[in-house]
């Protein structure tokens, strides 16, 4: 049986990934996660307790720990999610982004290279990255592809771009079998409520303001997290080392459209009169350097690996809103403590 190292699996996408992988792949899954503010052992506690994954709390920048794990397990796959992932936090302070996203990725690459030097079989290092490395599109531009130039605009996207470049260089120079996936905005269960969709859902439930940055006409390409995780499994099974794969939902929506949909869903779920939650929408100061539009053309992935998204936003969003209603206790635990401080700093109001 093969053994996979999954970094950052106590976060949003990683938790969804190990849930899907443990149900569908014959592999031992070893998780390394530092449990930062965004990491939550609760997200994967049932899998740990059932022995479906092995959990290690630790930092990907800790060279000794990472080397020790590689020595102990002889990983066949590395699926690298661990990152500082929120643009607004990167604007408040870039240092943790530079450390984890760049330095941490370099530590993992070095450990994989040392461990795989005399390695038979076909090990693979999958680096999970973002569409944001390609910068911002004009309204009439075609969506990003694998050939789009890198033009990161935020400290977050710049740190992810730097990590992508390291991964590419380790393949080109040392022959390390790496793949980069660049995915668009994800939504789904277990997303930390600093990101647009869970933040708006929970605020709508609580009758709190729905803070839309600027005019709210910025566009994002939304993909259900389960579809992203299925794309990653397809890449791990059939992807070619040295390649980049672009992943996206072909689902471009303005932020205002998303927030209005969420408001209507929350009204329906809570049996409030339609339009109640929409009254909570407030246009607030825009994000500095805010990227206007992201969109991805995932045709190569569809053609070569047969992947297609199964969820569409319109039918998936009601279930996602319901998930956050049914898991309010989970959200309330997260939204205490340091979240309150972050919310005050970011929005000038108490969470």
List residues near ligand NAD by CB under 6 A: 7-8, 10-14, 33-36, 38-39, 59-61, 81-85, 100, 104, 128, 130, 160, 183, 185-186, 192
Pick one of ligand TYD, ligand NAD, none as the site partner of residue 25 (Cβ within 5 to 8 A by kind): none
Question: Are 295 and 246 within 8 A, CB to CB?
Answer: no
Q: What is the CA radius of gyration of the chain?
A: 20
Catalytic member of 84, 131, 221, 265 = 131
211 binds ligand TYD (CB under 6 A): yes
Q: Is 42 a catalytic residue?
A: no
Q: Is 132 a catalytic residue?
A: yes
Smallest separation, CB 53 to ligand TYD (Å): 27
Interaction pattern, residues 262-301, with ligand TYD; x per rule: CB under 6 A: -------------------------x--------------
Q: Could you tell me how many residues of this chain bind ligand TYD (CB under 6 A)?
A: 13
All residues at 6 or more sequence positions from 208 whose CB lies less than 8 Å from its CB, including other chains: 280
3-state secondary structure at position 106: helix
Give me the residues paired with residue 6 across strands: 31, 79
CB closer to ligand NAD, 83 vs 235: 83
Smallest separation, CB 78 to ligand NAD (Å): 13
Pick one of ligand TYD, ligand NAD, none as the site partner of residue 38 (Cβ within 5 to 8 A by kind): ligand NAD
Q: Is 131 a catalytic residue?
A: yes
All residues at 6 or more sequence positions from 3 whose CB lies less than 8 Å from its CB, including other chains: 27, 28, 30, 73, 74, 75, 76, 77
Please identify which residue in 40, 90, 218, 244 interacts with ligand TYD, judged by CB under 6 A. Answer: 218
Cα–Cα distance between 180 and 125 in angstroms, integer? Answer: 8
DSSP single-letter state for residue 199: H
192: left (phi over 0), alpha (psi -120 to 50) or beta: beta
Question: Are 169 and 232 within 8 A, CB to CB?
Answer: no
Active site residues: 131-132, 156
Q: What residue ranges bind ligand TYD (CB under 6 A)?
A: 87, 132, 185, 195-196, 199, 211-213, 218, 220, 255, 287
């Amino acid at each position: 049986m093969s053994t996979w190292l999954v970094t950052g699996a106590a976060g949003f996408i990683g938790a969804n990934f190990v849930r899907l992988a443990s149900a569908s792949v014959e592999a031992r899954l070893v998780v390394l996660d530092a449990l930062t503010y965004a990491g939550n052992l609760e997200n994967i506690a049932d899998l740990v307790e059932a022995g479906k994954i092995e959990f290690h709390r630790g930092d990907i920048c800790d060279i000794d720990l990472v080397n020790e794990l590689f020595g102990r397990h002889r990983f066949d796959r590395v699926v690298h999610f661990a990152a500082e992932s929120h643009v607004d936090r990167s604007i408040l302070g870039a240092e943790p982004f530079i450390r984890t996203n760049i330095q941490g990725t370099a530590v993992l690459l070095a450990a994989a290279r040392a461990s795989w030097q005399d390695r038979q079989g076909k090990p693979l290092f999958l680096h999970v990255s973002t569409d944001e490395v390609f910068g911002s599109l004009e309204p009439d531009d075609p969506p990003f592809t694998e050939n789009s130039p890198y033009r990161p605009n935020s400290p977050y996207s710049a740190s992810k771009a730097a990590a992508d470049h390291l991964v590419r260089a380790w393949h080109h120079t040392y022959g390390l079998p790496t793949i980069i996936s660049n995915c668009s905005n994800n939504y789904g269960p277990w997303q930390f409520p600093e990101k647009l969709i869970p933040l708006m859902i929970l605020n709508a439930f609580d009758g709190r303001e729905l803070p839309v940055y600027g005019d709210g006409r910025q566009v994002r390409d939304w993909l259900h997290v389960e579809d992203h995780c299925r794309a990653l499994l397809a890449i791990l099974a059939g992807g070619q080392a040295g390649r980049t794969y672009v992943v996206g939902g072909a689902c471009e929506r303005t932020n205002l459209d998303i927030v209005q949909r969420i408001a209507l869903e929350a009204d329906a779920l809570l049996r409030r009169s339609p339009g109640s939650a929409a009254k909570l929408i407030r246009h607030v100061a825009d994000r500095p350097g805010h990227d206007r539009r992201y969109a991805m053309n995932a045709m190569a992935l569809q053609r070569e690996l047969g992947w297609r998204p199964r969820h569409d936003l319109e039918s998936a969003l009601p279930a996602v809103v319901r998930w956050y209603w049914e898991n309010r206790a989970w959200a309330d635990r997260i939204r205490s403590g340091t979240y309150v401080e972050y919310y005050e700093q970011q929005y000038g109001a108490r969470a």
